[in-house]
Structure 1
Amino acid sequence: MQRVAVQPHLLRWARKRAGLDLFELLARFPKLEEWEQGEERPTLRQLEKFAQAVFVPLGYLFLPAPPEEQLPIPDFRTIAGREVLRPGPNLLDTIYACQEKQAWYREFAQSSRRGKVKFVGSATINDSPERVARTMRDTFSFSLEERRRCRGWEESLRFFSFQAEAAGVLVMISGVVGSNNRRKLDPEEFRGFALADSLAPLVFINGNDTKAARMFTLAHELAHLWLGTSALSDMGAAPRHSLRREEIWCNKVAAEYLVPLDELRMEYDEAEPLEDALRRLGRIFKVSSLVVLRRLLDAGKLDRDRFNEAWGIAMAGFKQRSSSGGGNFYNTTMTRVSPRFARALMESTLEGQTLYRDAFRMLGVSKTETFHTLARKVGVQL
């Protein structure tokens, strides 16, 4: 049996890159400890299975040293004010998959002579966040009155996403890599990202964040599209300091877009207990209590000490994350890949312009019957 010469330190690097410890993999690879010590060598088949288990391209394991993996988009994430240095494989693979979908849709838009999305790159960080927020509300028809008619955060987020898609944005919300439910996306690593493009603007939202947090992330990433910039973000509603002026600006736009100060002041009751006010205003604006708190601070209704105390209490209630998985398979698939993208891809495939193999991979399906059912769900003629 032929063994493969592989550097032990590359095996250790690949395992740690995937966030796995030795004991998690020993059940599948009993000789892994000996491989990592250089005492034994794996077969090619064993090495292929190991590469799949740690989500690393097989070719990386034949390099003389681990590659320096760089994020393909600007990284605006921070932890305690410091930049995050190493992207995880789930994050990298998610960005690469979205870039593939975006590239496909851009070519589709060009070939079908679809117009550019005019608001992409229409603003600068020198523009007033209030003015840009008004433009966003006009573009998406997402007024307070329309939100009042939504029964909760989930319906409001669905309506918000639908309006963004109707305006030309590919909105993808998922808590896993592709359709692999074993590869969960960690909201502590990132909340979302934007891929700016005048023909195929794309926003990805981490579906393992809370539903209310996704509302703010979607608004924040859309603000990046207004600037015409791609970016990876982890900033929530907190009015915290950042070294990135662009992130501060996008947060201000998102906050004003979701909770305009003029409307907040009209709805706010000075005599109402703060806890009751947070619940009531959250239901009106369809945002989390964290966003309401931030806007009350912006409006001068809370001093910093009272804000910090209330923020700590509210944060304790948001420890439980909610996943976007489960539910109806077809609806979940549409949410993960963007209804606009799915519809275009299925039309192109049925017309013979795109291979079924490629369509199946990008949609995350494996059967023709499933593909056809998805097509009928979005109104594509078979």
Structure 2
Amino acid sequence: MATATFKVNNDILNWVLQIAGTQLNSEWINKINTWIKGEKTPTINQLKNLSKKSQIPFGNFFLSQPPRVEMPLLQFRTIDNSGITDASHGLLSTIDAIQLRAAWLEDYRIKEGYSKIAFIGMGNKKKYRSASYKEIAEEILKYFDLVKGWNSTLKSNQNAFNFLRKKLSQKGIVTETGSFVGNKTRDSLNINEFRAFVLINKYAPFIFINTKDSENARLFSLVHELVHLWYEKTEIFNYNFQTNPQYLNKKLEQQVNKISECILFDKDIFVKAWIESNDLALDKIYEIAKKFKTSPIATAITAKNYGLITQRVVDEVKGETTKNVANRKNKGGPNFYDTLAYRIDINFATSVINSTEAGDTTYLDAFSLLNVKNMKGYDSLKQRVEEKM
């Protein structure tokens, strides 16, 4: 008896390769490419297995064109990805999860009598329309009780990120992190697709940081998304540090980048450190990046903007940065619940736990919101959250 096969449209197969991301191993990728080239035709059983592996509905393989996923947030990408027709399963699933949490937290905070967060949209006030980038940066630093050069006084990239994250949390802004979808460690998020995103909400604004990005790049992403909250502008941050990026909203992104630069690299401190260093330009960049707890590429762009180096040096640093990120491997870390307690925002987790203990939220809803499977997971996470308070 002949094995049933089906010739899948190549547009569908290319779409599968695009959105499945790291869910597919090299064997599956090679197999799909042979189907695209027409060297082989997939069997129905192979398509069923691919459906399960890629989490793409089986029926989609029989369509003539890829289905369009309608998600309003996708239109707010920083860069115009002309070659990308759809978002990956990983990005869509992560957005779904964060939107669910934001909706819950907004409802919770309104019921508890919280006020709207004044910072959201503050940059749209008339008095800030003619303010310089430096002046706006100073206003943002003041709002979060930060001083100029705050990040240059901390011990490490992680210390600086955690310090700012805590400052944001104290003002009601939720920051969550992750490098894979939910708890599926084999379902990685794609750093080439997005570094971070921000959801605007007057009561429950959320920033999500993709920790597939290098540790020294995450602080810039966090500050960048914070400035988007200042302007009350939702965004998926997929900046690729190209020389002439194709911004979807060029004026806004240039403003956000300049203000972020002022928040992270106080010009007086930066230039003083540059002058005092006896190293060559390239070495100075890595030295100052370490001082400000930021990435070498962000440091190089700032040095160019301050008139200290040329674009050639920026391009050289960019090449090294791209290579280092590509070669970076995940390190072993703490156990599952310690990691989960770090990924999830402490104030959000506390709100869910308090609401659940008061009987206002069901345990099943709490499990979903906190990304745990059962009561044992809930208790383990609760213990770690209480230790952090």
Please give the TM-score of this superposition, normalised by the length of structure 1.
0.82
Q: Which amino acid aligns with 1:265?
A: V
Residue 12 of structure 1 and its aligned partner are, at CA, apart by 5.2
Question: Any stretches of 5+ residues in structure 1 without a counterpart?
Answer: 1-5, 28-35
Residue 205 of structure 1 and its aligned partner are, at CA, apart by 0.7
Look up the match of 2:311.
304
CA distance in 1 between counterparts of 2:104 and 2:62 reads 31
Counterpart of 2:239 (choices 235, 239, 244) is: 235
CA separation of 1:26/1:320 partners in 2, compared to 1, >3 Å: closer, same or farther?
closer
CA deviations 1:14-58 (Å, max 9, x no partner) are 84442548952999xxxxxxxx9697589xxx96x7654322357
Q: Does 1:264 align with 2:265?
A: no
CA distance in 1 between counterparts of 2:183 and 2:52 reads 15
Question: Any stretches of 5+ residues in structure 2 without a counterpart?
Answer: 1-5, 32-39
CA deviations 1:152-174 (Å, max 9, x no partner) are 11111111111111121110110
Residue 113 of structure 1 and its aligned partner are, at CA, apart by 1.0
Counterpart of 1:343 (choices 338, 350, 359) is: 350
Q: Which has the higher helix share?
A: 2
CA distance in 2 between counterparts of 1:282 and 1:214 reads 13
CA separation of 1:122/1:59 partners in 2, compared to 1, >3 Å: closer, same or farther?
farther
Look up the match of 1:120.
120
Give the paired residue count.
Answer: 362
Give the match's secondary structure for 2:122.
coil
Residue 348 of structure 1 and its aligned partner are, at CA, apart by 1.0
CA deviations 1:225-260 (Å, max 9, x no partner) are 111111111115666444322222222121111112
> CA RMSD of the aligned region, Å?
3.4
CA deviations 1:328-351 (Å, max 9, x no partner) are 433321232211211111111111
1:239 and 1:294 in contact (8 A); partners too: no
CA separation of 1:361/1:53 partners in 2, compared to 1, >3 Å: closer, same or farther?
farther
1:278 and 1:289 in contact (8 A); partners too: yes
CA separation of 1:323/1:171 partners in 2, compared to 1, >3 Å: closer, same or farther?
farther
Q: Superposed, which structure 2 residues align to 1:1-382 within 5 Å?
A: 15-16=16-17, 17-19=19-21, 20=24, 24=28, 51-56=51-56, 66-73=66-73, 74-78=75-79, 82=82, 84-124=84-124, 126=129, 128-143=132-147, 146-235=150-239, 240-243=244-247, 244-245=249-250, 246-269=252-275, 272-273=278-279, 274-321=281-328, 323=330, 326-379=333-386
CA separation of 1:306/1:366 partners in 2, compared to 1, >3 Å: closer, same or farther?
closer
**Greater shift in the superposed pair: 351-360 or 367-376:** 367-376
CA distance in 2 between counterparts of 1:318 and 1:102 reads 31
CA deviations 1:198-225 (Å, max 9, x no partner) are 1011111111000111111111111111
CA separation of 1:219/1:240 partners in 2, compared to 1, >3 Å: closer, same or farther?
farther
Give the match's secondary structure for 1:205.
strand
Give the match's secondary structure for 1:253.
helix
Look up the match of 1:3.
none
Sequence identity percentage: 24
